[in-house]
Amino acid sequence: MLLNIPGHSELRKIVVLNPKGGSGKTTIAINLAAYFAVGGRRTALMDFDPQGSTMRWARNRPQERPYIYSVAAFEHNPRVTRSFQLRMPPEIRQLIIDTPAALTAQRLTQFTRGAHAILVPVLSSDMDIHAVSQLMADLLLVAKVSRRMGRLGVIANRVRENTLAYRRLMRFLEALQIPIVTVLRDSQNYVHAAEQGLGIHELPHSQALKDVEAWAPLIGWVEQRMATALTARDLRSPLAAVGTPRPATEPSVRPDPDPREAALPPARTGDPPAGKS
């Protein structure tokens, strides 16, 4: 069953996903929402993660700060239809979706179809690199998210530069041939902001300057994706489209190569375990 979020033609959907828990999906989602809201743009957050971290952040948000419409999508209200529960007010222009952990390959399509931007945060540990390798294969081969359409971007999250783990992560991400949107450092500013229901851009300028600067390329990439119209391929469900002809309005695009055949950086036996400098 495909996810149907009632909206309108001006709604821009940004999906943050990584089936492995602890990758920083919620941090990316809430800070994007706060950035748009501070800029005076009508923004919504939709939380599909049963942990409800995004919703807790929204409830802690001070009333004097710009309002962010929020939906606890992980809850199922038997008194209303699912479509009614997920509806978006007509004034909303940006919708940021925090996806749950442990998504199956088939369920990825529920979230990626119709998304203007798909952001994948990844940490530098060996386990996280392995998990995102499988995720990319599922996105490209099962969900049919094309590299060429440019909707998919990776965020190197909570990194510590000048470590072997960081260099190993960057080699891996570059081999994927998918844009590395930005590199975010391991900073307590995100923790302090989240505890107050704020985004990194709402902290005192002198306190968060370095982190705000790291967000600049991420914001620029997302803005560019939101300004780019979706194609028929972006809107079509690959599961529903099996055995059906390609719409006449869809541009001719050759399929992506199998990402599992991509040349990944060779293992180096001299490298210490991830996280050790």
- 84 falls within a domain: yes
Which secondary structure element, helix H or strand E, spans residue 45, and what is its range?
A: strand 43-47
Cα–Cα nearest to 58, from 72, 77, 48: 72
Burial degree of 104 (CB within 10 A; 0-12, 13-18, 19+): exposed
CATH number assigned to the domain comprising residue 120: 3.40.50.300
- 152 falls within a domain: yes
Which secondary structure element, helix H or strand E, spans residue 193, and what is its range?
A: helix 188-195
Residue 235: Cβ within 10 Å count: 12
DSSP 20: S
The mean pLDDT value of the chain amounts to 83
Share of the chain above pLDDT 70, in %: 82
Q: Which amino acid is at 85?
A: Q
Give pLDDT tens digits for 8-18: 678 999 999 99
- 7 falls within a domain: no
What is the C-alpha to C-alpha distance for residues 255 and 36, in angstroms, rounded to an integer?
34
Distances (CA, A) of 99 to 60, 209, 259, 270: 20, 28, 23, 37
pLDDT range class, residue 3, cuts 50, 70, 90: low
Range(s) of the domain holding residue 243: 12-261
Give pLDDT tens digits for 103-146: 888 889 889 999 999 999 999 888 888 888 889 989 988 888 88
pLDDT, position 255? 42
- 230 falls within a domain: yes
Q: Which residues does residue 153 pair with via DSSP β-bridges, in sequence order?
A: 119
What's the whole-number mean pLDDT along residues 217-239?
Answer: 84
What is the C-alpha to C-alpha distance for residues 230 and 85, in angstroms, rounded to an integer?
25
What is the C-alpha to C-alpha distance for residues 223 and 116, in angstroms, rounded to an integer?
10
- 275 falls within a domain: no
- 22 falls within a domain: yes
What is the C-alpha to C-alpha distance for residues 180 and 154, in angstroms, rounded to an integer?
5
Tell the residue number behind the tokens 């440019």, with chain if given: 150
What is the C-alpha to C-alpha distance for residues 189 and 154, in angstroms, rounded to an integer?
21
Q: What is the 3-state secondary structure (H, E, C) of 98-161?
A: ECCCCCCHHHHHHHHCCCCEEEEEECCCHHHHHHHHHHHHHHHHCCCCCCCCCCEEEEEEEECC
Give pLDDT tens digits for 192-213: 999 999 999 999 999 999 999 9
Contact 235, 116 (CB under 8 A): no
Total domain count, the chain: 1
- 267 falls within a domain: no
